[in-house]
Structure 1
């Protein structure tokens, strides 16, 4: 996969330097690009100097900030790996995204999932965005650190999680219970539906309970990734993690 941009490049070199295959840099005396070149050369990653037009073609975008990397990202995982992770985790926290198709939303969810200690993100095989360069860039490191489990049958997977003692909490605007009043401290899978559509019927039926966020203004709902962020931080708050274990924004 080709990723681009200064922040995406720094993130790749920090988290997956061994999977960075090659780099293309703009002919520029820019200090930030020169620092990245030094880092790439120290890691023995091949670097090619080129012009902006070629970088535009390589990135399929003009927003590359003078750098494009070829990176072999960690592959998505499947149901077998999910089962292994489930059995090895004492109090898991899964984020389940039901047919989310916007790469910006998936990337933002991965970023927040990393920040809140999510065990993994579960997505259905069909009608769900994959790990694209946009997802990678928006995730700001979350794509490397949070595993994505792509499953064939989401309802069946949710039932399996329930059998393993994981509570399934679905986010729905029509829920009677506010998330801040629900018990989210135990093993949990937080389920959010697709943009504009919400939870599918079978997915909703697999939930143990539904929660909502209070809306004090005139808008009816929040952006998917924003809602996921609020809910995940509520889970984190309820799990009473020590302040010394948490970083600062």
Structure 2
């Protein structure tokens, strides 16, 4: 995001405030009430955030059909991070976990993935400059504000990011339904980057060839694939399970 934008949803805004995100103005529904709304109002007062009470039409316009829950806010841009700087400052003895997204374009899937990544201790999410979902209001809302706690790195090519991670001793494991190797049979208790592709194309074949592991989740039903955010969550939690 290059300019000031809007986020909406009570929890997402509270998370933004608690993450010290700079909020220009808070827009609240005139007749809004409830425990979470009061929590948001208290947070705004505590942090000296300007509040405007507006009709529902204003919030509907900001959210563009999304569920704003009676609250929206204008915020400063989300800052992207430099992957190499993060790697230089990461202790590999802690067995850090990274996540690469190759062509995930749906903002709600992206937001859900960010939320799960934050919950599973992912150090940073890496996406490509082109062909990736933007960080917009829908992303922030779906991530429940987790985007403000998760470093997101943009790179020219996912393949270059894989080589860089491997140079720092990080193993890479990508998801592909055509492999015979289950994720449960691979040692993930190491510095690791999980790589997820788009639902339509999967991981780019040239990237797939350079990964340390290509794995899949077992499918028991008739449908041959999972939603990418669900598959990503299953894989990240297998990493957590092995670490525990």
Q: If the length of structure 2 is used for normalisation, what is the TM-score?
A: 0.91
Q: 1:167 aligns with which of 171, 189, 194?
A: 171
Q: Equivalent residue for 1:88?
A: 89
Q: Equivalent residue for 2:122?
A: 118
1:76 aligned onto 2:90: no
Question: Alpha carbons of 1:124 and 1:30: their partners in 2 closer, same or farther (altered >3 Å)?
Answer: same
1:22 aligned onto 2:25: yes
Contact 1:116 1:233 in 2 (8 A): yes
Question: Alpha carbons of 1:29 and 1:173: their partners in 2 closer, same or farther (altered >3 Å)?
Answer: closer
Query: What is the total number of aligned residue pairs between the two structures?
Result: 236
Shift of 1:237: 1.0
Structure 1: distance between partners of 2:29 and 2:139: 23
List structure 1 segments (4+ residues) > 4 angstroms apart after TM superposition: none
Shift of 1:138: 0.7
1:41 aligned onto 2:45: yes
Q: Equivalent residue for 1:144?
A: 148
Structure 2: distance between partners of 1:210 and 1:68: 42
Computed over aligned residues only, the root mean square deviation of the Cα atoms, in angstroms, reads 1.5
SS at match of 1:83: helix
Question: Alpha carbons of 1:38 and 1:142: their partners in 2 closer, same or farther (altered >3 Å)?
Answer: closer
Shift of 1:7: 2.0
Structure 1: distance between partners of 2:71 and 2:164: 44
Contact 1:8 1:140 in 2 (8 A): yes
Structure 2: distance between partners of 1:194 and 1:69: 30
Question: Alpha carbons of 1:194 and 1:29: their partners in 2 closer, same or farther (altered >3 Å)?
Answer: closer
List gaps (5 residues or longer) in structure 1.
Answer: 241-249
Shift of 1:35: 4.2
Q: If the length of structure 1 is used for normalisation, what is the TM-score?
A: 0.89
SS at match of 1:123: strand
Q: Equivalent residue for 1:227?
A: 231
Question: Alpha carbons of 1:85 and 1:62: their partners in 2 closer, same or farther (altered >3 Å)?
Answer: closer
Contact 2:7 2:141 in 1 (8 A): yes
Q: Equivalent residue for 1:157?
A: 161
1:128 aligned onto 2:132: yes
Q: Equivalent residue for 1:54?
A: 58
Structure 2: distance between partners of 1:38 and 1:109: 29
